[in-house]
């Protein structure tokens, strides 16, 4: 009961406790009976007898072969069931489970009808002098038939629980499918595979009904231990109990070994806050960011300067070749990017906008959209398989391989691309040092903090010498202070990256501070592709404007071109610089340009709306006040000082007047 809260440990409700105790007794009594009636004094001689050792040897042989068949056929089947979609998949899964629910004698009859002398394949087999019924091979088949489902089901469960991002990340680092299976999939599902294999073997060892029906009870040929028990029971009950005790001991040994630590599921990483369907930290648009937050335009000039504080001056490995990116993506996502080497592009957009689909399309991991053109450097990679694209992907939680050390994780891409082990490790070590996590080289991901894991994930991606780097919300899973550190590390190392970097983010600070361009996606379409400065000055959708913390109201200018905008909400907004007449667009007002008053203001502001305070939140040293408009006035965000808020005695529900000078309101035609 380890791990349960104290209160739960102590209280066992009687209505549950009594039937549970009865269940335990029900299971225990027969076992106690075997122990009580076992012929202990003659046990050694009975178990050492020729008949028993012969049956035991045969049992081990038959169950061993059955396990081998189950492994050879069952592992690929489990993988297909867990990882692929094909017609009739549910039917195949039912078929796999059928032997588990079928009475074993029926399974034996079915085997006879398939492989017996008059069965479907019998005559064909007979023409090759192969007779399966009443042979050791038949006993193996009968055991494999009933035992394989245990392996398939256990392994399929483990594979289904293994998030594909580990395998996909390995692919993006250059590993071919077989290598991914051998180095990532298998080690990560090993506990499930071992458990399935052990159960499968135990089932084969205990198989009786199908064997006796299909293979008979021939001493030395098909008479395994369970069959011997059955035979002995008629003439020598003590002997049957002795052999039963042996089978019981074997089954118990298997169970005890299954309780070993290798049966416990792997702990991926401390930061294993993986994002499957619907998982992931709550996201939302961050409040206002000052447009003056500044952004980094990468390039040779800034690279040397920004790389200086950390690590050696140049990244390890040969001198990098610049890799510009040219791509057009169509389908579920439509985007065209033509970016010189050294560009970092932030990909932003509301939930479901298609950001992840865009990354997966470039990686070649989805068919929902296609990169109709994808040129990396001078090479056309539009039709290259994912592991040949040299596009490194860092998923949101880093997806470090939990069974490998930080060093082996970092060397993974180089090894997959054929670099000898010692050289790959030396280079990986340099990357880890460069990212300030060299001391953790021999730690497994489970022992790394969130920030450390992100650095290792970045080292692993960069060490693979990618031509395009895809970062999916690299800072989202980190707390505020770690985020600042890792952001700094990212900025430093992106400066040296010789390709293009696409960085998905929901955080406007990340977008404007790390990227030289921002791609805005909405409903799978590109809404804007601009520099952060342009984006802040001229947001082209209400979502972008709000992401940047601005008030944005869709509307249309009046026909007489006097600078009046009729907002869709019904209010009128006057702008100082008259926009084109009769044009649809977006009226944008920074929240610091909105003044709040408790009485109707007089004087210059030409836009005055009435409303009441709905929410007050802190933003840096200032307060953001959300005002719900009344009488058709739009919802407005104002940013004011705490002392101004105190002077006005603002609280939720306080009626206020919001005023905006015409000079502060801009109209962006769309």
Ligand X SMILES: Nc1ncnc2c1ncn2[C@@H]1O[C@H](COP(=O)(O)OP(=O)(O)OP(=O)(O)O)[C@@H](O)[C@H]1O
Contact by Cβ (8 Å): 360, 329: no
Binding mask 289-328 for ligand X (x = CB under 6 A): ----------------------------------------
Residues in binding contact with ligand X, number by CB under 6 A: 10
- In angstroms, the CA 496 to CA 207 distance is 63
Candidate residues 122, 311, 354, 532; the one interacting with ligand X per rule CB under 6 A: 354
Nearer Cβ to ligand X (368/383): 368
Shortest Cβ 448–ligand X spacing (Å): 24
Coil, strand or helix at 313? coil
Candidate residues 234, 264, 351, 481; the one interacting with ligand X per rule CB under 6 A: 351
Is residue 274 a contact residue for ligand X (CB under 6 A)?
A: no
Is residue 353 a contact residue for ligand X (CB under 6 A)?
A: yes
- Residues across the chain: 670
Shortest Cβ 274–ligand X spacing (Å): 13
Nearest in space to 344 (alpha carbons), one of 526, 465, 519, 461: 519
- In angstroms, the CA 313 to CA 666 distance is 45
Nearest in space to 446 (alpha carbons), one of 413, 508, 486, 404: 404
Q: Which stretch binds ligand X (CB under 6 A): 28-36, 85-93, 354-362, 618-626?
A: 354-362
- If one counts every other C-beta atom within 10 angstroms of the C-beta of residue 433, the result is 17
Candidate residues 357, 595, 607, 636; the one interacting with ligand X per rule CB under 6 A: 357
Shortest Cβ 165–ligand X spacing (Å): 13
Candidate residues 33, 312, 352, 420; the one interacting with ligand X per rule CB under 6 A: 352
DSSP string for residues in 621-641: TEEEEEEEESTTPPPEEEEE-
The H-or-E segment that residue 528 falls in is strand 525-530
Is residue 356 a contact residue for ligand X (CB under 6 A)?
A: yes
Is residue 544 a contact residue for ligand X (CB under 6 A)?
A: no
Candidate residues 295, 355, 434, 550; the one interacting with ligand X per rule CB under 6 A: 355
Shortest Cβ 473–ligand X spacing (Å): 8
Candidate residues 191, 239, 274, 349; the one interacting with ligand X per rule CB under 6 A: 349
Report the half-sphere exposure of 479 (CA within 13 A, side-chain side).
3
Shortest Cβ 647–ligand X spacing (Å): 40
Shortest Cβ 183–ligand X spacing (Å): 26
CA 479 to centroid of chain Cα atoms? 20
Q: Dig out the tokens for 573 from the structure.
A: 């907004």
Contact by Cβ (8 Å): 413, 173: yes
Q: Which stretch binds ligand X (CB under 6 A): 90-98, 346-354, 401-409, 647-655?
A: 346-354
- In angstroms, the CA 384 to CA 386 distance is 6
- In angstroms, the CA 148 to CA 200 distance is 6
Q: What are phi and psi of 631, to 5 degrees?
A: 55, 45
Shortest Cβ 134–ligand X spacing (Å): 52
Nearer Cβ to ligand X (46/275): 275
Shortest Cβ 226–ligand X spacing (Å): 48
Nearer Cβ to ligand X (182/283): 283
CA 424 to centroid of chain Cα atoms? 26
Nearer Cβ to ligand X (395/605): 395
What counts of helices (H) and strands (E) characterise the chain?
24, 20
Buried b (16+ CB within 10 A) or exposed e, 102-118: bebeebbbbbbeebbee
Is residue 200 a contact residue for ligand X (CB under 6 A)?
A: no
What residues make contact with ligand X under the rule CB under 6 A? Answer: 332, 349, 351-357, 368
């Amino acid at each position: 009961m380890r791990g349960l809260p104290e209160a739960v440990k102590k209280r066992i409700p009687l209505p549950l406790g009594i039937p549970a105790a009865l269940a335990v007794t029900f299971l225990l009594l027969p076992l106690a009976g075997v122990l009580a009636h076992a012929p202990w004094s003659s046990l050694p001689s009975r178990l050492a007898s020729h008949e028993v050792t012969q049956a035991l040897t045969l049992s081990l042989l038959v169950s061993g072969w059955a396990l081998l068949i189950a492994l050879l056929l069952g592992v690929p089947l489990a993988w297909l069931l867990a990882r692929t979609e094909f017609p009739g998949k549910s039917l195949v899964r039912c078929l796999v489970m059928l032997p588990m629910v079928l009475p074993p004698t029926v399974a034996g009859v079915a085997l006879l009808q398939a492989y017996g002398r008059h069965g479907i394949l019998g005559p064909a087999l007979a023409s090759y002098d192969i007779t399966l019924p009443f042979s050791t091979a038949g006993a193996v088949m009968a055991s494999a038939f009933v035992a394989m489902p245990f392996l398939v089901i256990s392994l399929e469960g483990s594979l289904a629980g293994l998030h594909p991002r580990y395998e996909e990340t390995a692919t993006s680092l250059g590993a071919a499918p077989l290598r991914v299976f051998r180095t990532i999939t298998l080690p990560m599902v090993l506990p499930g595979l071992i458990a399935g294999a052990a159960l499968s073997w135990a089932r084969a060892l205990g198989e009786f009904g199908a064997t006796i029906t299909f293979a008979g009870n021939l001493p030395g040929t098909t008479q395994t231990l369970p069959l011997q028990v059955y035979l002995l029971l008629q003439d020598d009950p003590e002997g049957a109990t002795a052999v039963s005790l042996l089978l019981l001991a074997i089954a118990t040994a298997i169970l005890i070994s299954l309780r070993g630590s290798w049966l416990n599921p792997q702990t991926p990483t401390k930061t294993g806050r993986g994002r499957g369907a619907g998982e992931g930290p709550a996201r939302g648009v961050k409040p206002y960011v000052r447009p003056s937050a500044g952004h980094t335009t990468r390039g040779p000039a800034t690279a040397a300067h920004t790389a200086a504080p950390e690590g050696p001056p140049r990244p390890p490995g040969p001198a990098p070749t610049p890799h510009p990116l040219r791509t057009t993506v169509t389908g579920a996502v439509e985007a065209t990017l033509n970016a010189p080497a050294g560009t970092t592009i932030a990909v932003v957009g509301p939930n479901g906008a298609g950001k992840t689909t865009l990354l997966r399309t470039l990686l070649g991991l989805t068919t929902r959209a296609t990169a109709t053109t994808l040129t990396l450097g001078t090479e056309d990679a539009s039709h290259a398989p994912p592991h040949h694209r040299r596009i490194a992907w860092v998923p949101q939680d880093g997806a470090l391989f939990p069974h490998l050390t930080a060093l082996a994780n970092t060397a993974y891409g180089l090894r997959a691309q054929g670099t000898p082990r010692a050289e790959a490790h030396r280079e990986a070590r340099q990357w880890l040092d460069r990212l300030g996590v060299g001391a953790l080289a021999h730690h497994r991901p489970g022992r790394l903090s969130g920030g450390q894991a992100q650095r290792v994930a970045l080292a692993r991606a960069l060490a693979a010498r990618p031509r395009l780097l895809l970062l999916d919300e690299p800072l989202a899973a980190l707390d505020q202070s770690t985020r600042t550190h890792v952001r700094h590390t990212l900025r430093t190392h992106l400066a040296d990256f010789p390709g293009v970097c696409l960085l998905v983010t929901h955080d406007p600070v990340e977008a404007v501070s790390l990227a030289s361009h921002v791609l805005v996606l909405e409903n799978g379409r590109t809404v804007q592709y601009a520099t952060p400065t342009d984006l802040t000055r001229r947001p082209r959708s209400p979502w972008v404007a709000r992401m940047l913390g601005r008030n944005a109201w869709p509307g249309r200018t009046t026909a007489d071109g006097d600078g009046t905008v009729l907002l869709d909400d019904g209010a009128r907004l006057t702008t100082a610089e008259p926009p084109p007449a009769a044009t649809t667009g977006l009226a944008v007002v920074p929240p610091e340009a909105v003044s709040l008053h408790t009485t109707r203001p007089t004087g210059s502001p030409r836009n005055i709306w009435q409303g009441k305070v709905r929410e007050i939140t802190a933003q840096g040293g200032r307060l953001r006040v959300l005002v719900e408009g009344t009488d058709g006035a739009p919802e407005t965000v104002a940013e004011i000082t705490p002392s101004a808020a105190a002077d006005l005695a603002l609280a939720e529900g306080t009626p206020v007047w919001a005023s905006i000078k015409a000079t502060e309101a801009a109209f962006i035609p769309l």
